[in-house]
Structure 1
């Protein structure tokens, strides 16, 4: 927490955009953040809703450090914000800390990947797409 600072976002504020530089991340204290992604010919597609205690952003840890999706404050949000370069430097300086953060982000990624997979299965099942792909 020594590397963090409090950040507040009004409802509707875009935290970051897909493809832009991933130079920070947040841990939500209160409120809800939505993750979305661009869908050609359509509006943004909701990927996930994140609430208190959850990590917003993992792209800051993986080169080339660009966002793989976008994020928006669905409600007013209070969060702890972290500068990615500072945290990566701390991870390099303290391998135990680096392993802890790396394992944490990896577990978040695995959970979100599984959640996305289940949502896709539900979506295709509802639209008769299972077995036709």
Structure 2
């Protein structure tokens, strides 16, 4: 069963404790949320709107690797050293989201093994999805036959 959002993947009790740390934020369309290589000290869960994730391509425009909508996690790099964004993110529509401070979430995880386990499992799934999306997009752009079946 495919999960519809990051918060759905976390059991109710830990999810409630996590949400106590969240604050509602809004971004206009075209807002650059973060840049690849920048300091990753927070993350967001989209409530409404869409965000493009992109990767820097030397000598070209950034390549959009995935578009995220409601319920999706924006930013996982806060969890793993060196805490630098692996991709960039820009809103394509007005966005409402919950924003979480990484230091506060790290402190909560230390005292809440159930949340820690659920959040780690969820983020690992997101990392896998993002890796597949980036690979597919880069093959589409630069591979001899795109990401389709082998020839």
| TM-score, scaled to structure 2 | 0.79
Taking the TM superposition and a 5 Å limit, the aligned residue runs for 1:5-20 are 5-20=23-38
2:67 to 44, 49, 71: 49
RMSD: 1.7
C-alpha separation between the residues in 2 aligned to 1:122 and 1:17? Answer: 23
1:28 to 46, 51, 67: 46
C-alpha separation between the residues in 1 aligned to 2:90 and 2:140? Answer: 24
Question: Which position in structure 1 is the counterpart of 2:58?
Answer: 40
* 1:102 has 2:134 as partner: no
Q: Hey, which of these two has a bigger chunk of strand by percent?
A: 1
C-alpha separation between the residues in 2 aligned to 1:76 and 1:4? Answer: 19
Structure 2, unpaired ranges of 5+:
1-18
Structure 1, unpaired ranges of 5+:
none
1:68 to 70, 79, 86: 86
C-alpha separation between the residues in 1 aligned to 2:36 and 2:106? Answer: 21
C-alpha separation between the residues in 1 aligned to 2:25 and 2:42? Answer: 12
C-alpha separation between the residues in 2 aligned to 1:116 and 1:11? Answer: 23
Question: Which position in structure 2 is the counterpart of 1:3?
Answer: 21
Q: CA deviation at 1:71?
A: 0.4
Q: CA deviation at 1:49?
A: 0.3
The CA deviation string for residues 111-130 of structure 1, in whole angstroms up to 9 with x for no partner, is: 22223333344442149xx6
C-alpha separation between the residues in 1 aligned to 2:139 and 2:65? Answer: 14
| TM-score, scaled to structure 1 | 0.89
